[in-house]
Amino acid sequence: MTDTNVLSPWIRRFLIEHLVVERNLAHNTQKSYRDTLRLLLPVIARRARRRIDLLRVEDLSADRIRTFLQDLEETGGCAVATRNQRLSAIHSLARFISIHSPEHLQWSGEIHNIMSKKAARPLVTYLEKDEMDALLASPDCSTSQGRRDHAVLLFLYNTGARADEAAHVQITDLDVGMTPDRDPSSVLIRGKGNKQRRCPLWKRTVAEIRHLMADRDLSEHLFLNRRGQPLTRYGIHSLVERHAARVAKNLPSIAKKRVSPHTIRHTTATHLLRAGVDINTIRAWLGHVCLSTTNIYAEVDLEMKAKALANCKINDEKPQKHWRDDKGLMAFLKTL
């Protein structure tokens, strides 16, 4: 690199060398960082009055980044969490440049002085057992598409997998026992950051996915759309929302909730917790890195809170008599 002040080569190295080779980030994370720069660079170019490929590192000033983030919220309608996610990508770029170019340390420090906003944590939405059962019963299993939909919903509930994780499951990732009653079955799930985990499968789940696996190559994706192409995470989102809307017509409680694949993931965790599964096992089941992430389910379950409250209930105390009404005391006083 001949001129370390030109921004374009740094961005290319950041996206290709740093994110892919050095950090080996998940593909979705790479796309998120890329999308941040696609939004940011045209804004900086307009304010700096330069072509994007001629932008210099100093053009990416802290003030311009703050304006960009403010516009994301006010004009773009982005939530605080999205704003913070975009800022995290910019921080990562600034850190990468400063590591390889010490003369930009002061500039990087100014960028890192832009703080993340504190965002209110939304309440976790999950389905009660009758609501989940109704969702599983929604697909028409007499049709091939309905049976596929039922298998997807059951797989999500069984594993607590994210939509993207379920979309990328291949037949070779399945370890299906020959005798379901004796041989345990499991699936290998690739989560965020390419972390892998094994999740046990119910006999009911195995029975449904056996139908999907029949006479197919091991390298193929498990869940396919009507054209025989791998089902995408957007397809899984659409599938869940479609059946939730159908169930909501007869079950008003679901109509009040926004049901998505992540709602089913929350449901899995909450139901496991109610069944007495310890929180650390649930953490491994869902693929959380930190136990603190899993602890939110211990906070949201109203049924468990109500049971805890009942166990701590204080018996009603007998009302104490006023000293004037205590005849024994009054008689004692008269004898003195």
Which structure tokens are listed for 12?
């290319």
| Given 86, 104, 262, 271, the catalytic residue | 262
CA distance 329 to 80: 67
**DSSP code of 175?**
E
**DSSP code of 202?**
-
Helix (H) or strand (E) holding 121: none
CA distance 51 to 170: 44
| Given 33, 126, 157, 297, the catalytic residue | 297
**DSSP code of 178?**
S
Catalytic site residue 237? no
CA distance 198 to 233: 20
The residues, ordered by sequence, that sit 6+ positions from 329 with a Cβ below 8 Å of its Cβ are 323
CA distance 163 to 168: 9
**DSSP code of 18?**
I
Which string of b and e fits 19-45 if b means at least 16 CB within 10 Å?
A: beeeeebbeeebebbeebbebbbeebb
User: Which residues sit opposite 77 in a β-bridge?
Assistant: none
Catalytic site residue 162? yes
| Given 86, 197, 271, 288, the catalytic residue | 288
- The tally of CA atoms less than 13 A away on the side-chain side of residue 316 is 2
| Given 192, 210, 237, 274, the catalytic residue | 192
| Given 18, 148, 162, 197, the catalytic residue | 162
| Given 243, 265, 266, 271, the catalytic residue | 265
Catalytic site residue 262? yes
Which structure tokens are listed for 85?
């996610």
Catalytic site residue 297? yes
Residues identified as active-site: 162, 192, 262, 265, 288, 297
